[in-house]
Structure 1
C-alpha cells in the first residue's frame, strides 16, 4: 500500500504533543519539526493512501431520490 506524508502546519506545542501521542499509539510513523517562527510546530504523519474514493454513506440517501 502506498503511503504519503500528511502535514499539520502551525500547531502549538500542546497540539503537537497530542498528535504525536495519538499517532504513535496507532503505530504510525510521525515527525515533528519547528517552524521558522520558533513558536509553532509542523507535525508530519506517514499515512496510507487508498486507490478509490470513500463510499457514500447510504443511511442519508432516500430511495426515492435515486
Structure 2
C-alpha cells in the first residue's frame, strides 16, 4: 500500500533558492513545481511529499539521560 501524499509549500523563495529546491527534489524523484508570487519577485515551490500518521521520533543524541 502506497503512502498518502500531500503538497508542501516553500513560500517567498528567491529565484536562486527556488532553483536549488527544484534541483534537490528532482534528484530525489519528487514531483515539484514552482509558481510566481503576486509580487512578481518571489517564488512558491510546491513539492508532493509522503505523509505519515506518526510524528517523527526524537533523536536520542539530544536526550539527556538524567532527565529520563
Q: Same fold (TM over 0.5)?
A: yes
1:55: how far off?
1.1
Instruction: Specify the alignment match of 1:7 in structure 2.
Output: 9
Partner of 2:54: 52
The equivalent residue for 1:63 is 65
Is the alpha carbon distance of 1:60 and 1:39 closer, same or farther for their aligned partners in structure 2, counting shifts above 3 Å? closer
1:23-42 aligned at under 5 Å gives the runs 23-42=25-44
Q: Structure 1 residue runs of 4+, over 3 Å off?
A: none
Superposition TM-score, scaled by structure 1 size: 0.89
TM-score by length of 2: 0.86
Q: Unpaired segments of 5 or more residues in structure 1?
A: none
